[in-house]
Structure 1
């Protein structure tokens, strides 16, 4: 066929529009999606008008038996028309199929629809351009699909479950999830086939999506990262339940890891001749604080029970005779005298008994009411005071940096130099402290230089600790203070 004859072919305008449309479409940057879609719609409309003008039917197969350039040109023109139709539909899908606030899900749905569009375009080209019997092809492919489906049913199940999980979004990367099979951890990776969970033991648990989709999933990070915890303690019924509740409320108010909002709760569970079972409910800022919070609460329960004269009950499965159980009349609070404190402090271990008694006789017992200021930041702290009972709040620049419980201490920084208190101290509950005056130690320190060095070292170690360090949750955390660790031992004896 001559070139002029080829130009006169009715399919030539259609073919030319198709090729030019592809070139223009690729020249427009992907970021300008609106312009690409408009250009595609314009070229598709022009190609459709060219088809109608040339009396060509793209939705029917017509085989004239010709195998020359005209037939090749017509075939190419029809293929280009189907391609531009598919691209026009895809452009509309990309622009207008939007899920508000869910870009990942929207992209997934768009990709699925685009895949269906391309599949439909391919089948249409086979049927209407090349005359392939689609019915037979679909039947054959159906048999093949069944065979492949049976062979890959587990893989396909994982893939479709992954799609369902992606659309539902019960979790996101970084969320802490708790599954009904006992698996618990943070989601670190999610693929079409599986989800990877970093457990508390620093192991990676890989769960197939088909398995994960069947489990009951609890997302600890939603609607917020705050997590409720409960600790159950058993107290011997030697005091009225209301007194026990008040002490447990002091425990919760003393905690630094338990949030103040929502407010902690104290619930009486059961009461019998053996024990009063109390549940302490509180919230922590994140799931990672669970262990620290539980350790702190148990430590504070022990301290305040010792301080207020409460006794821990025997285990529920222990065999104890009723006559051996403590009662309100027979139970006595554990004595914590100044002499016992002096005996418990390691820096005073080198003293003989008479020296310890003399030092204990010089101890002053001081009491503070709730809300009373115990010490101010701008005043020298020359005395060393040990908290006997109650809760003390330590504030710096109107910000609470610590809460002192029974066994904690404050002051002492000015025993050897005129040093001001590092923070303001305020009683949150009625507080009793044992205070050791500077003068009471003067004679002993003069006779025992080694004792001076030991005491200075202990106070220096305490002063080096940052007031804004992470909440000290257990006696071990507070045990970094040499003197404090020794003082706490009296509450464990």
Structure 2
């Protein structure tokens, strides 16, 4: 009975060995590379120790391997050892060659070397462990390889094209590229058969390597993510060309996302009988900013052109300016007209100072043309650019309303025209119009809460307590304190 039991277990042991290794592989295949490496190293050492105890090796050299149940057990152990060792070697190769996941060449090389390791392990098992005639198998496999090669010629073309592209290394995972057929996006994955591109529309485009190898590849991320683009527009032919070009140059200065180096340029594309075509060529720091920058640039151009249009006199220009400012919304047309007549234009040359940081002032300045640069800290030798403002914007209201010194300096970056509103001209309107008072208080309390006024808002530094500041405004203009009954 004991002999029968020994023979039964001798037949079952090979199955148990192979089954245990296979089950362990299924358990750890989803784990991290380090856990899998420890598992295969442990299995290799245990199986190698078992073969050593039987005075043999994974090649089944040493004493003669019996043909009975014990031989089946040893062959099962040797088969398990070779495939565990192949998996361990493949993990090591992947760690050495494929550690850089962004490297396309490393990934393809790692896959090819790992495939060669598995093929070599299979041939060794067939030849040395199972004692099969491998030479005849190789001869037969040559014919099979020709048939398979013809059937998979497109796939093989992708594989070798992937190797060629990997050697050239024109991009990496995470780079933004443009292919010759117009596909543009960020490379999400690159493998031995294809690349996957995440387009700006959120789609995944899968491009075979054979197509990539033949296409013109433009890498938008190397050597820098900086991107050049062009904005075209049409203007009436009766507008002076130099005037339009100057407006376009001013608009680029007012758009914070437009890079100043390389400098943007405005050019004429076409002169016609009815219309002229213009273009602005500029750079942005990243592709994702192109659409937003074009939108802001168009808005700036429209604003500059609106206030740069010829007018009959200064009062008409001034009235057009204050009519567009939300803070003067409560004023009726007659009051706006009276205020406009009291506004005085002031011309500035490039480099002229409108007001200096720390200086007191009783004027509100509305820009009619040109670009002003707002800076801080000039008196300490550490000049900091706060921003730029242009036509249709105003500045200086916090100093005028609170009698506090300017917290920044304003300097003309280009030839500019500024209209001044004095405190004396504004006081009667504030005293007689509570809605106007609330508009100015709201403007100050929200940090001049308009999106297009965010830069100019930084030119004034409100006191820490908003309520104290607002009461100060009311006292300065002889109004009731905030919260008091009128």
Q: Provide, for residues 48-82 of structure 1, a one-character-per-residue CA deviation record: whole Å limited to 9, x for no partner.
A: xxxxxxxxxx9xx9xx999699x99xx99x99xx9
Relative to structure 1, the CA distance from residue 362 to residue 470 in structure 2 (aligned partners, 3 Å threshold; closer, same or farther) is: closer
The answer to whether the aligner puts 1:427 opposite 2:412 as a matched pair is yes
The answer to whether the aligner puts 1:375 opposite 2:355 as a matched pair is yes
Q: In the alignment, what sits opposite 2:226?
A: 226
Farther-moved stretch of structure 1 (148-157 vs 375-384): 148-157
SS of residue matched to 1:414:
helix
SS of residue matched to 1:300:
helix
| Cα separation, 2, equivalents of 1:111 and 1:187 | 19
Q: In the alignment, what sits opposite 1:276?
A: 276
Quick check: 2:375–2:408 contact (8 Å CA) kept in 1? yes
Of the candidates 447, 472, 491, which is equivalent to residue 432 of structure 2? 447
Q: In the alignment, what sits opposite 1:47?
A: none
Relative to structure 1, the CA distance from residue 377 to residue 206 in structure 2 (aligned partners, 3 Å threshold; closer, same or farther) is: same
| Cα separation, 1, equivalents of 2:96 and 2:198 | 38
Relative to structure 1, the CA distance from residue 253 to residue 96 in structure 2 (aligned partners, 3 Å threshold; closer, same or farther) is: closer
Matches within 5 A, 1:25-64: none
Quick check: 2:284–2:290 contact (8 Å CA) kept in 1? yes
CA-based RMSD: 5.0
Relative to structure 1, the CA distance from residue 359 to residue 281 in structure 2 (aligned partners, 3 Å threshold; closer, same or farther) is: same
Of the candidates 336, 360, 374, which is equivalent to residue 356 of structure 1? 336
Relative to structure 1, the CA distance from residue 174 to residue 381 in structure 2 (aligned partners, 3 Å threshold; closer, same or farther) is: farther
Relative to structure 1, the CA distance from residue 142 to residue 471 in structure 2 (aligned partners, 3 Å threshold; closer, same or farther) is: farther
| Cα separation, 1, equivalents of 2:322 and 2:91 | 83
The structure with higher relative contact order (CA 8 Å, sep 6+) is: 1
Q: Report the Cα offset of residue 432 of structure 1.
A: 0.6
| Cα separation, 1, equivalents of 2:97 and 2:329 | 79
Q: In the alignment, what sits opposite 2:254?
A: 254
| Cα separation, 2, equivalents of 1:135 and 1:471 | 84
The answer to whether the aligner puts 1:396 opposite 2:376 as a matched pair is yes
- TM-score normalised to the size of structure 2? 0.65
| Cα separation, 2, equivalents of 1:219 and 1:147 | 38
The answer to whether the aligner puts 1:245 opposite 2:245 as a matched pair is yes
| Cα separation, 2, equivalents of 1:390 and 1:468 | 16
Q: In the alignment, what sits opposite 2:306?
A: 306
Matches within 5 A, 1:7-86: none
Unpaired runs of at least 5, structure 1: 1-28, 31-57, 310-331, 473-493
Q: Provide, for residues 305-344 of structure 1, a one-character-per-residue CA deviation record: whole Å limited to 9, x for no partner.
A: 33444xxxxxxxxxxxxxxxxxxxxxx5687522333444
Matches within 5 A, 1:32-431: 105-106=105-106, 108-109=108-109, 112-113=112-113, 115-116=115-116, 119-120=119-120, 122-123=122-123, 126-127=126-127, 132-145=132-145, 165-192=165-192, 194-201=194-201, 203-210=202-209, 213=212, 214-238=214-238, 241-309=241-309, 337-397=317-377, 398-431=383-416
Paired residues in the alignment total: 402
Q: Which has the higher helix share?
A: 2
Relative to structure 1, the CA distance from residue 188 to residue 424 in structure 2 (aligned partners, 3 Å threshold; closer, same or farther) is: farther
| Cα separation, 2, equivalents of 1:194 and 1:95 | 22
Quick check: 1:194–1:206 contact (8 Å CA) kept in 2? no
Quick check: 2:162–2:192 contact (8 Å CA) kept in 1? yes
- TM-score normalised to the size of structure 1? 0.64
Q: Report the Cα offset of residue 273 of structure 1.
A: 2.0
SS of residue matched to 2:172:
coil
Farther-moved stretch of structure 1 (231-240 vs 389-398): 231-240
Relative to structure 1, the CA distance from residue 334 to residue 404 in structure 2 (aligned partners, 3 Å threshold; closer, same or farther) is: farther
